[in-house]
Structure 1
Amino acid sequence: MKISIAIPTRERGQYLRHSVQTALEIDDDNIEIIVSDNASSDGTKELMQEFDDSRLVYVNTGARLSMRQNFETAFNASTGDYLIYFGDDDGILPKQFPYLRQLLEANRPDGLSWIKATYGWPIEGYGRKTGGVRFYRDNCFGAPKAFHGADNLQKLMTADVSNLRPVPDIYHGCLSRAYMLKTSMDGRTVFDSAIPDVNLSYRSILKDGHFIGVDHPFSINGYSPASTGGGHGAEQNNSSGTNSSKLFAKENITDPMSDVFPHAGSVPLAFFSTLETLRRNHGLEAIQPDYLSWYKYVRGSTRKNPALAEQIQGILRDHAEAKGIQSVLDAALQGPPQAKRSLQERFARAQGQLSSFRVSATEGGENTILTAAHMIDAILGQDFGAVLSGDMTSRLAWKEAKRRSKDFQRQL
Structure 2
Amino acid sequence: MTQANIMKISIIIPSRERAFYLKSSIQTVLDIDDPNIELIVADNASTDGTDAVVAGFDDSRLTYLPSDARVSMRENFNRSILASSGDYVIVFGDDDAILPGQFPALRRLLDQHRPDGMSWIKATYGWPIEGFGDKTGGIRFYRDNSFGAPKIYDPHDDIDTLMRCQLGQLNPTPNIYHGCVSRAYLNRSQPSPGVFFDSTIPDVNFQFRSTYVGGKFLSVAHPFTINGYGPASTGGAHSGPKKGSASEKIGHSFAAENRADPYDDIIDHALTVHLVYFSTLETLRDRSGFSDPCPSYEDWYQFSLNATQTKPEETARILDILRTHAERTGTDAALAAAQQMPPRAKRTLAERWDRIKSQLRSFRLSAEINGENTVHTAAMVMDQVLGQDLDAILQGTQNQSGAWAAAKRRSKDFKREL
TM-score, scaled relative to structure 1: 0.97
Of the three residues 181, 191, 197, the one matched with 1:191 is: 197
Deviation sequence 1:222-272 (CA, Å, 0-9, x none):
01111111220134x989552222221121122122211111011110111
Assess if the C-alpha contact under 8 Å between 1:120 and 1:131 holds in 2: yes
Assess if the C-alpha contact under 8 Å between 1:139 and 1:217 holds in 2: yes
| Structure 1 residue 104 corresponds to structure 2 residue 110 | yes
The number of residue pairs the alignment matches comes to 411
Q: Distance in 1 between the 2:50 and 2:341 partners?
A: 49
Say if 1:255 and 1:70 are closer, same or farther in 2 by CA, change over 3 A: same
Of the three residues 391, 395, 403, the one matched with 2:401 is: 395
- Structure 1 residue matching 2:152: 3-state secondary structure: strand
Letter in structure 2 aligned against 1:88 = D
Runs ≥4 in structure 1, deviation > 4 angstroms? 237-241
1:85-96 aligned at under 5 Å gives the runs 85-96=91-102
| Structure 1 residue 224 corresponds to structure 2 residue 230 | yes
| Structure 1 residue 276 corresponds to structure 2 residue 274 | no
Of the three residues 117, 120, 138, the one matched with 1:132 is: 138
Of the three residues 23, 27, 30, the one matched with 2:29 is: 23
| Structure 1 residue 3 corresponds to structure 2 residue 9 | yes
| Structure 1 residue 249 corresponds to structure 2 residue 255 | yes
Say if 1:41 and 1:240 are closer, same or farther in 2 by CA, change over 3 A: closer
Assess if the C-alpha contact under 8 Å between 2:272 and 2:311 holds in 1: no
1:301-320 aligned at under 5 Å gives the runs 301-320=307-326
- Structure 2 residue matching 1:96: 3-state secondary structure: helix
Q: Distance in 2 between the 1:309 and 1:389 partners?
A: 54
Equivalent residue number for residue 411 of structure 1: 417
Q: Distance in 2 between the 1:61 and 1:306 partners?
A: 36
Equivalent residue number for residue 119 of structure 2: 113
Assess if the C-alpha contact under 8 Å between 2:366 and 2:415 holds in 1: yes
Of the three residues 346, 354, 359, the one matched with 2:360 is: 354
Q: Distance in 2 between the 1:276 and 1:76 partners?
A: 26
Letter in structure 2 aligned against 1:65 = V
Of the three residues 40, 51, 62, the one matched with 1:45 is: 51
Q: Distance in 2 between the 1:74 and 1:304 partners?
A: 33
Of the three residues 275, 282, 296, the one matched with 2:302 is: 296
Tell me by how many angstroms 1:221 deviates: 0.4
Letter in structure 2 aligned against 1:218 = F
Letter in structure 2 aligned against 1:250 = A
Q: Distance in 2 between the 1:295 and 1:179 partners?
A: 32
Q: CA RMSD in A?
A: 1.3
Letter in structure 1 aligned against 2:63 = V
Tell me by how many angstroms 1:307 deviates: 2.2
Q: Distance in 1 between the 2:312 and 2:364 partners?
A: 36
Equivalent residue number for residue 170 of structure 1: 176
Tell me by how many angstroms 1:151 deviates: 2.2
Of the three residues 111, 123, 146, the one matched with 2:129 is: 123
Say if 1:219 and 1:62 are closer, same or farther in 2 by CA, change over 3 A: same
Q: Distance in 2 between the 1:309 and 1:163 partners?
A: 27
Letter in structure 1 aligned against 2:109 = L
Assess if the C-alpha contact under 8 Å between 2:307 and 2:318 holds in 1: no
Q: Distance in 1 between the 2:410 and 2:243 partners?
A: 41
Letter in structure 1 aligned against 2:90 = I
Q: Distance in 2 between the 1:47 and 1:86 partners?
A: 18
Say if 1:304 and 1:82 are closer, same or farther in 2 by CA, change over 3 A: closer
1:324-403 aligned at under 5 Å gives the runs 324-403=330-409
Assess if the C-alpha contact under 8 Å between 2:240 and 2:311 holds in 1: no
Q: Distance in 1 between the 2:310 and 2:127 partners?
A: 25
Of the three residues 62, 70, 73, the one matched with 1:64 is: 70
Structure 2 unaligned residues grouped into runs of 5+: 1-6
Tell me by how many angstroms 1:301 deviates: 2.5
Deviation sequence 1:61-82 (CA, Å, 0-9, x none):
1100000010011111100010
Q: Distance in 2 between the 1:40 and 1:305 partners?
A: 29
Tell me by how many angstroms 1:338 deviates: 1.6
Deviation sequence 1:284-320 (CA, Å, 0-9, x none):
1122111111111111232143222221111111111
Deviation sequence 1:151-179 (CA, Å, 0-9, x none):
22122111111221111100000001110
Tell me by how many angstroms 1:116 deviates: 0.4
Letter in structure 2 aligned against 1:400 = A
Tell me by how many angstroms 1:124 deviates: 0.9
Deviates more, 1:250-259 or 1:76-85: 250-259
Say if 1:205 and 1:135 are closer, same or farther in 2 by CA, change over 3 A: same
Tell me by how many angstroms 1:343 deviates: 2.0
TM-score, scaled relative to structure 2: 0.96
Deviates more, 1:253-262 or 1:37-46: 253-262
Q: Distance in 2 between the 1:241 and 1:28 partners?
A: 37
Tell me by how many angstroms 1:199 deviates: 0.8
Q: Distance in 1 between the 2:215 and 2:9 partners?
A: 19
- Structure 2 residue matching 1:309: 3-state secondary structure: helix
Tell me by how many angstroms 1:133 deviates: 0.8
Assess if the C-alpha contact under 8 Å between 1:238 and 1:305 holds in 2: no
Equivalent residue number for residue 4 of structure 2: none
